[in-house]
Amino acid sequence: MPDLKEIADWIGGTLLGDATLEIHGVQALQRAGPDEIAYVARGREDVDPSGLRAGALLVASDSDLPYANRILVADPQLAFARLLDRFHPRHPFWTGIAANAHVCPGAQLEENVRLGPFSFIGENSRIGAGTEIHSGVAVYRDVTIGRDCLIYANVVIRENVVIGDRVIIHPGAVIGADGFGFGRTTEGAAVKIPQVGRVIIGDGCEIGANTCIDRSTIEETVLEPNVKLDNLVQVGHNVRIGRDSAISAQTGISGSTRVGAGVIMGGQVGVADHVEIADGVMIAAKSGVSGSIKSRAVVAGIPHQEIGEWRKNMVLARHLSAWKEKLRALEKRIRELEEK
């Protein structure tokens, strides 16, 4: 087990306290015991240290939280993330290529690809070095997957999809299914429009469990690098999402919408089709974005408004019955004045 000095060295922090204390694990702040290390998030330094039992704490460099053993770091959460990796290394799902996987002729697997049982790699698909594909995954033909990706069980990746390096795709996600595109006959019957466009997933993206990203008729659906999607998200055809954006569970982005960089969406948000969301916009959970948001703003509501406006209106809307009483009372006073 590492001692505190080793841990401080790993994460490049400044140790105050007992350098020889052995640390057996990482733990949440309120649950950590005397042989465990926890962290105090930036802005949470008002915690009462007397109630804590952790052997040591990671704290921000500029924090003056008093605690016997502490390591000062620039960002305690990110330092803690590195300790999590050290104390809980991920076990690879598989070593080498499973005998009961199915690799079609013409597929190319670079060195150190790990391919689990019951996974299928289609013709002419290429899997980059160090990428790990778990069980039951379907990679259709002509797919490109980059290096050091992590594709969990039962993911489906349709033909012609392009995936960058270090992408993580959680179980059951579906990349490149047909967009929801139909024409109508003069009698009103829906006629399928073929969807042959590509889906392109940038480096460092993460795609949640059972999330769906559709291909479009002929143009590209794009996630720029480092986009993070939670579970059960729907990304419609021909959508583009800018880098570093993060979208919470059960949100849906309709077709041909452009989402800027660094956009944050809460859960169960809906965004209409063919709109543009500027860089850095934040959208509260359950909002319905019905039109473009042209500049950085925080919005909420159905349809969306600037969040301050929304809050004011919401508070008022919750007291409409009081208003009704007031209106009645005013009417009575006017009638009395008129009768005079």
C-beta closer to its own copies: residue 43 or 66? 43
With respect to its own copies, which residue has the nearer C-beta, 19 or 74?
A: 74
| Closer Cβ to its own copies, 126 or 170, answer by number | 170
Residues contacting 70, CB < 8 A, separation 6+: 15, 16, 17, 56, 57, 58, 59
**Considering Cα of 235, then 237, then 239, then 241, what sign does the dihedral take?**
positive
**Pairwise CA distance, residues 68 & 16, whole Å:** 8
Q: Which is nearer to its own copies, 21 or 80 (CB)?
A: 80
> How, if at all, do strands 70-73 and 14-16 pair?
antiparallel
Least separation in angstroms between residue 63's CB and its own copies is 17
CA angle at 156 for the pair 153 and 159, rounded to the nearest 5°: 145
DSSP state of 268: T
Q: How far is the CB of 125 from its own copies (least distance, A)?
A: 12
Q: Which of 91, 102, 170, 237 is catalytic?
A: 237
Minimum CB–partner distance for residue 66 and its own copies (Å): 24
As beta bridge partners, residue 271 has 253, 289
Task: Assess contact for 121 and 139: CB atoms under 8 A.
Answer: yes
In angstroms, give the least distance from the CB of 6 to its own copies: 19
φ, ψ of residue 326 to 5 degrees: the values are -60, -40
237 assigned to active site: yes
Is residue 69 a contact partner of residue 87, using CB atoms and an 8 Å limit? no
CB closer to its own copies, 18 vs 75: 75
Tokens of 288: 């319905």
Between CA 232 and CA 109 the distance in angstroms is 30
- Minimum distance, C-beta of residue 28 to its own copies, in the bound complex (Å): 5
d(CA 177, CA 179): 6
**Paired residues of 168 in beta bridges:** 150, 206
Give the span between the Cα atoms of 22 and 2, in whole angstroms: 6
Cβ distance to its own copies smaller for residue 129 or 190? 190
CB of 208 to its own copies, least distance (A): 7
For residue 181, give Cα distances in angstroms to 191, 199, 270.
9, 16, 18
Provide the annotated active-site residues.
237
